[in-house]
């Protein structure tokens, strides 16, 4: 994990997304990873690829996949028991009535959907324009992309290597203990240097000064 600049703690926290799942869910999840291109074969999965995949599973789209897999697994697990009881007949009757009710409700709502589609399109266009305007008002913050954990640790390690070279000190082996050490020692400086590099652009400095001046002198409510 250390060679991928991933801490044990963050890796365990990420893979918890799938570790409690049963075998049916895990098999579906692994197949999804291959379908989505996170890796080509399960035996070729790397820690970095697994981290990215687990982040995807925590997204709205990924969560929907997990919910679907879980429901399929529950159906598969309880299928035989269900048909060994008298509930099977009642369930089939209910399914039939459900389909009839669903069709009736769809017919009622589709007319309203047609009426609202044009409004939705207009609202989506309005949203795009307003987001662009919001981002324009909050330059350069809207251009700033914070360091992710892996890039932060890489920069901390580079700073550690430079310091050892300058002081002619022997470098320690890259492991979890060293990662925790360099993060605690260099994180603040790395983040400040990253921000300094971002703010080295004179246009960004000018925009930020204008925003701060307007914020201070605004007569209405001031957002924090």
pLDDT tens, position by position, 11-60: 777 677 666 567 777 788 888 888 878 887 877 788 888 878 888 888 88
Residues 200 and 181 in one domain: yes
What is the maximal distance between C-alpha atoms in the chain?
A: 80
Q: What is the pLDDT of residue 179?
A: 94
Query: The tokens of 189 are what?
Result: 């400086």
Per the structure, the count of domains in the chain is 3
> Reduced to 3 states, what is the DSSP secondary structure of residue 54?
helix
Whether 119 maps to a domain, the answer reads yes
Phi, psi torsion values for 166, nearest 5 degrees? -60, -40
Please indicate, yes or no, if residue 222 is contained in any of the structural domains.
no
The answer to whether residues 69 and 93 belong to one domain is no
Q: Which residues, in sequence order, are CB contacts of 144 under 8 Å at separation 6+?
A: 198
Question: Is residue 95 domain-shared with residue 57, that is, in the same domain?
Answer: no
94 and 46 both lie in a single domain: no
Asked if 26 and 74 count as a contact pair (C-beta separation under 8 A), the reply is: no
pTM beyond 0.85: the answer is: no
Q: Domain limits at 13?
A: 2-83
Q: Is residue 21 domain-resident?
A: yes
- Please check whether residues 21 and 78 belong to one and the same domain: yes
Q: Do 78 and 90 reside in the same domain of the chain?
A: no
Would you place residue 186 in the very low, low, confident or very high pLDDT band (cuts 50, 70, 90)? Answer: very high
Q: Is residue 162 part of a domain?
A: yes
223 part of a folded domain? no
Q: What is the pLDDT of residues 92-128, one digit of tens each?
A: 788 889 999 989 888 889 888 888 888 888 999 999 9
Bond into 140 cis (ω within 30): yes
User: Across residues 210-214, what is the average pLDDT?
Assistant: 91
In this structure, the answer to whether residues 56 and 97 fall within a common structural domain is no
Rounded CA-CA distance 140/192 in Å is: 16
């Amino acid at each position: 994990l250390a060679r991928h600049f991933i801490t044990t703690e963050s890796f365990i926290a990420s893979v918890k997304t799938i570790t409690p799942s049963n075998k049916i869910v895990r098999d579906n999840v692994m197949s999804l990873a291959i379908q989505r291109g996170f890796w080509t074969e399960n035996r070729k999965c790397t820690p970095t690829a697994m981290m990215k995949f687990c982040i995807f599973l925590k997204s709205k789209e990924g969560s929907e996949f997990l919910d679907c897999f879980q429901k399929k697994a529950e159906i598969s697990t309880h299928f035989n028991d269900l048909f060994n009881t008298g509930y099977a007949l009642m369930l089939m009757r209910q399914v039939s009535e459900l389909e009839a009710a669903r069709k009736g409700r769809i017919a009622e709502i589709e007319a309203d959907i047609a009426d609202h589609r044009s409004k939705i399109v207009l609202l989506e266009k309005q949203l795009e324009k307003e987001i662009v305007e919001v981002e324009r008002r909050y330059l350069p913050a809207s251009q700033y992309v914070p360091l992710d954990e892996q890039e932060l640790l890489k920069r901390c390690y580079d700073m550690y290597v430079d310091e050892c070279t300058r002081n002619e000190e022997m470098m320690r082996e890259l492991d979890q203990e060293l990662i925790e050490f360099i993060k605690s020692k260099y994180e603040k400086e790395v983040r400040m240097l990253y921000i300094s590099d971002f703010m080295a652009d004179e246009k960004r400095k000018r925009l930020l000064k204008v925003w701060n001046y307007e914020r201070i002198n605004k007569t209405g409510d001031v957002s924090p």
